[in-house]
Amino acid sequence: MDRLSFDNPLFATYVIAATLLILKAAAMSWLVVFRMIRENGGFRSPEDGRKTLANPNPHPDQLAPNERVERLRRIQLNDLESLPYFLVAGFLWILTEPSLVLAHWLFYGYVLTRLAHFVAYWTAQIHDIRALLWTPGSLILIYMAASTLLTALF
Protein backbone atom coordinates (compact mmCIF):
# COMPACT_ATOMS: atom_id res chain seq x y z
CA MET A 1 0.00 0.00 0.00
CA ASP A 2 1.26 3.45 -0.93
CA ARG A 3 1.95 5.55 2.17
CA LEU A 4 0.51 8.71 0.56
CA SER A 5 -2.80 7.24 -0.50
CA PHE A 6 -6.27 7.55 0.94
CA ASP A 7 -6.21 3.75 1.07
CA ASN A 8 -3.68 4.17 3.87
CA PRO A 9 -5.68 4.91 7.05
CA LEU A 10 -2.68 6.67 8.56
CA PHE A 11 -2.49 9.15 5.68
CA ALA A 12 -6.28 9.57 5.67
CA THR A 13 -6.20 10.38 9.40
CA TYR A 14 -3.55 13.05 8.79
CA VAL A 15 -5.54 14.50 5.88
CA ILE A 16 -8.72 14.73 7.96
CA ALA A 17 -6.95 16.50 10.84
CA ALA A 18 -5.01 18.82 8.50
CA THR A 19 -8.12 19.69 6.51
CA LEU A 20 -10.12 20.48 9.65
CA LEU A 21 -7.37 22.84 10.82
CA ILE A 22 -7.07 24.48 7.40
CA LEU A 23 -10.83 25.05 7.27
CA LYS A 24 -10.76 26.50 10.80
CA ALA A 25 -7.93 28.85 9.82
CA ALA A 26 -9.76 29.92 6.66
CA ALA A 27 -12.91 30.54 8.69
CA MET A 28 -10.96 32.94 10.89
CA SER A 29 -10.57 35.36 7.98
CA TRP A 30 -14.32 35.34 7.46
CA LEU A 31 -14.91 35.87 11.19
CA VAL A 32 -12.60 38.90 11.17
CA VAL A 33 -14.40 40.40 8.16
CA PHE A 34 -17.82 39.67 9.67
CA ARG A 35 -16.78 41.31 12.94
CA MET A 36 -15.36 44.37 11.12
CA ILE A 37 -18.66 44.79 9.26
CA ARG A 38 -20.72 44.27 12.38
CA GLU A 39 -18.61 46.71 14.40
CA ASN A 40 -18.28 49.08 11.43
CA GLY A 41 -14.67 49.48 12.46
CA GLY A 42 -11.36 47.87 13.13
CA PHE A 43 -10.24 48.54 9.58
CA ARG A 44 -6.48 48.63 9.11
CA SER A 45 -5.71 50.32 5.81
CA PRO A 46 -6.37 54.03 5.21
CA GLU A 47 -8.18 53.29 1.95
CA ASP A 48 -10.72 51.21 3.91
CA GLY A 49 -12.03 54.46 5.36
CA ARG A 50 -13.05 55.83 1.95
CA LYS A 51 -16.62 56.07 0.77
CA THR A 52 -17.60 53.02 -1.29
CA LEU A 53 -20.71 50.92 -1.92
CA ALA A 54 -19.67 48.70 1.01
CA ASN A 55 -18.85 51.72 3.21
CA PRO A 56 -21.38 54.44 2.31
CA ASN A 57 -20.83 56.46 5.52
CA PRO A 58 -17.13 56.36 6.38
CA HIS A 59 -15.82 57.97 9.54
CA PRO A 60 -12.32 58.28 11.01
CA ASP A 61 -13.12 55.97 13.94
CA GLN A 62 -13.38 53.05 11.51
CA LEU A 63 -9.58 53.03 11.32
CA ALA A 64 -9.13 53.00 15.10
CA PRO A 65 -8.29 49.65 16.73
CA ASN A 66 -11.40 47.77 17.79
CA GLU A 67 -10.83 45.24 20.57
CA ARG A 68 -13.53 42.86 19.31
CA VAL A 69 -11.89 42.77 15.87
CA GLU A 70 -8.37 42.65 17.28
CA ARG A 71 -9.21 39.65 19.48
CA LEU A 72 -10.13 37.66 16.37
CA ARG A 73 -6.98 38.86 14.62
CA ARG A 74 -4.90 37.61 17.56
CA ILE A 75 -6.63 34.23 17.36
CA GLN A 76 -5.96 34.16 13.63
CA LEU A 77 -2.30 35.03 14.17
CA ASN A 78 -2.02 32.24 16.72
CA ASP A 79 -3.35 29.81 14.10
CA LEU A 80 -0.90 31.12 11.51
CA GLU A 81 1.93 30.61 14.00
CA SER A 82 1.00 26.99 14.76
CA LEU A 83 -0.74 25.49 11.73
CA PRO A 84 2.33 25.30 9.45
CA TYR A 85 4.25 23.39 12.13
CA PHE A 86 1.45 20.86 12.45
CA LEU A 87 1.13 20.42 8.69
CA VAL A 88 4.85 19.75 8.24
CA ALA A 89 5.47 17.78 11.45
CA GLY A 90 2.37 15.64 10.93
CA PHE A 91 3.23 14.90 7.32
CA LEU A 92 6.80 13.93 8.12
CA TRP A 93 5.66 11.89 11.11
CA ILE A 94 3.29 9.71 9.07
CA LEU A 95 6.30 8.72 6.96
CA THR A 96 7.71 7.02 10.08
CA GLU A 97 4.66 4.71 10.01
CA PRO A 98 3.49 5.15 13.61
CA SER A 99 0.60 3.10 14.92
CA LEU A 100 -2.83 4.17 13.72
CA VAL A 101 -4.14 4.37 17.28
CA LEU A 102 -1.35 6.75 18.28
CA ALA A 103 -1.92 8.80 15.14
CA HIS A 104 -5.62 9.11 15.98
CA TRP A 105 -4.80 10.29 19.50
CA LEU A 106 -2.17 12.79 18.41
CA PHE A 107 -3.81 14.21 15.27
CA TYR A 108 -7.32 14.47 16.66
CA GLY A 109 -5.97 15.52 20.05
CA TYR A 110 -4.15 18.38 18.35
CA VAL A 111 -7.30 19.42 16.49
CA LEU A 112 -9.32 19.37 19.73
CA THR A 113 -6.73 21.42 21.61
CA ARG A 114 -6.72 24.03 18.83
CA LEU A 115 -10.52 24.23 18.86
CA ALA A 116 -10.60 24.46 22.65
CA HIS A 117 -7.90 27.14 22.56
CA PHE A 118 -9.99 29.09 20.04
CA VAL A 119 -13.05 28.97 22.30
CA ALA A 120 -10.99 30.03 25.31
CA TYR A 121 -9.42 32.93 23.41
CA TRP A 122 -12.73 34.06 21.90
CA THR A 123 -14.41 34.05 25.31
CA ALA A 124 -11.52 36.02 26.86
CA GLN A 125 -10.37 33.33 29.29
CA ILE A 126 -7.29 34.12 31.34
CA HIS A 127 -3.85 33.29 30.02
CA ASP A 128 -3.50 30.32 32.36
CA ILE A 129 -6.48 28.57 30.78
CA ARG A 130 -5.34 29.36 27.24
CA ALA A 131 -1.84 28.08 28.10
CA LEU A 132 -3.33 24.92 29.60
CA LEU A 133 -5.14 24.29 26.30
CA TRP A 134 -2.15 25.27 24.13
CA THR A 135 0.39 23.09 25.96
CA PRO A 136 -0.87 19.63 24.90
CA GLY A 137 -0.84 20.69 21.24
CA SER A 138 2.69 21.99 21.60
CA LEU A 139 3.80 18.75 23.24
CA ILE A 140 2.18 16.78 20.41
CA LEU A 141 4.17 18.78 17.86
CA ILE A 142 7.39 18.28 19.79
CA TYR A 143 6.75 14.55 20.09
CA MET A 144 6.04 14.14 16.37
CA ALA A 145 9.09 16.19 15.38
CA ALA A 146 11.42 14.40 17.81
CA SER A 147 10.09 10.98 16.81
CA THR A 148 10.60 11.82 13.15
CA LEU A 149 14.12 13.07 13.79
CA LEU A 150 15.05 9.95 15.74
CA THR A 151 13.67 7.73 12.99
CA ALA A 152 15.65 9.64 10.38
CA LEU A 153 18.87 9.45 12.43
CA PHE A 154 18.64 5.78 13.36
C-beta neighbour count of 114 within 10 angstroms: 22
* Domains of the chain: total: 1
Cα separation of 36 and 40, whole Å? 6
Residue 120 within any structural domain of the chain: yes
Asked if residue 113 lies in contact with residue 137, where contact means CB atoms within 8 angstroms, the answer is yes
pLDDT at 17 over 70: yes
Q: Considering the domain boundaries, does residue 4 fall inside one?
A: no
26-46 pLDDT, tens digit per residue, is: 999 999 999 999 999 999 999
Whether residue 73 lies inside any domain: the answer is yes
Query: 3 lies in a domain?
Result: no
Contact status, residue 106 vs residue 144, Cβ threshold 8 Å: yes
Which CATH number is 94's domain given? 1.20.120.550
Q: How does pLDDT run across 109-126, given as a tens digit for each residue? A: 999 999 999 999 999 999
Range of the domain at 31: 9-153
